Chains A and B, each alone.
Chain A
């Protein structure tokens, strides 16, 4: 296998950085579309400052975890680098929805932060931890949900691969285990270093996606000093015996929010949110049907992020989610119906399992550009996909409990080995010919099952590659090492030659 050859595609980038010297020429039509959407994205990004410039400046000069979002433009470019034609438009629209959701969430946090002065918003916000769906807030029209933990680690690292170092080192120096899930340890580092924003009427902690979240909850609670409740749902969620407990717990959380805020749960408003959530779910089901086709146009990274946002940040609360979904569905239907192939480099269709490395969110883009491996399905996205009852209160609460039980990174990583092995059914369902399994070295939950997964893949003759990573901290397993693992697999097991040899080995360790 050749090492670094001529610069090729990488000649556009500064050595050692993922910062491009100039933008990619995509042909007249695609370049015009890219420029036009770039203007929209700049307008959306500007809203972070425009909403309250003074507070935004104070927040940017106070919080280490906020400055990486200055790299969102570059992150967008990286994630849509492999897109052309309809795929480019879809990628932009998806990423604009995510960008707008992020900006709105960060503006809410900055505006409510009492570190920068008392305000009317702080006590109207209910904080949901990690990736717990905020759907219950639909029943409290006078309150707003706040989701902050993903912004400290996962999303910050997606913008800047070095975003997590500062907080990881803090928990190491504080004596907490340094081999715990980075998702949770980063949040602990933020809490210990007093970089949590001060706001919130109450805090709903959780055991999502796993018990590591319970670890960081205890540290966050000590720092925030606002009322909190453990919104923990059963791990063994397929067991019918856990249903009564799960529903009782959701009722407890509703009562807790009522007690803390003085508001009353409005069932009509809640069912309106549930209907919106079901519409989002219906659209997702139709997109999954189209994903079985070789003409499915959605690039991998927007595909992954949109679904994560839909479950963890929207859940029926954001009307734009379904609106964007419908627009994208129309484009996808057109591509499949008219057999428009906007992913022409595809040589393999892969199912991606496990949590991707946040510091290499665009790894799927690289897989496609370098080796022609198209990510058509992401196991994480296939989390809770059932409809919630729209008219019966008990059934609706059971639906909420299921939504929490089967949240992002829960359905296929915890809850019993049967859930994890469903990946082989999904592999068949989406007409894949290989599996990429992200192996988060700090994820103990999935470690126990790796041998079984490999044995079954061997029995069935399914090519499966394990890509080890450290989720948010690239110092142990940098991006180049992740590429090396995949390169070795593709050349020795799949016997393929790279589409672009300049992408095999390069240095992108220094920058974003």
Chain B
């Protein structure tokens, strides 16, 4: 029984540790506004791409 508990605890510890890292990463994205900063750069890149698309302005 005792031998079974230790690996389970280790696994739980790993899972909790991973969850804490993910939570901290998500908090960093939120507080540092990284999502909007990334979108801002992506928007600028997309504008340069869409400027180069050939358009048919004939009616």
Binding site for B on A (CB under 8 A): 19-23, 35, 38-39, 42, 60-64, 67-68, 70-71, 73-74, 77, 160, 170, 174, 192-195, 222-223, 511-512
Contact = CB atoms under 8 A, between A and B. Distances in A.
Given A21-B33, A193-B55, A223-B59, A61 B43 contact: no
A19 B36 contact: yes
A19 B43 contact: no
A61 B42 contact: no
Interface string B37-50: 10110110011011
Contacts of B59: 192, 222-223
A194 B56 contact: yes
B12 to A, nearest CB: 24
Is the interface on chain B under 10, 10 to 19, 20 to 34, or 35 or more residues? 20 to 34
Which one of B35, B42, B43 has the greatest number of beta carbons of chain A within 10 Å? Answer: B43
Contacts of B37: 19
A70 B57 contact: no
Interface string B19-42: 000000011001111011101101
A61 B53 CA distance: 8
Contacts, number: 66
A222 B59 CA distance: 7
A287 to B, nearest CB: 30
Given A23-B33, A192-B57, A194-B56, A71 B40 contact: yes
A174 B26 CA distance: 48
A73 B46 contact: no
Contact of A63 (B26, B32, B39, B50): B50
B40 A61 contact: no
A67 B36 contact: no
B30 A23 contact: yes
Given A19-B37, A63-B50, A70 B56 contact: no
A67 B47 contact: yes
Given A19-B37, A195-B55, 17 more contacts: A19-B40, A22-B33, A23-B32, A35-B27, A39-B26, A42-B35, A63-B50, A70-B46, A71-B43, A73-B35, A73-B36, A74-B36, A77-B36, A160-B43, A192-B59, A194-B57, A511-B40
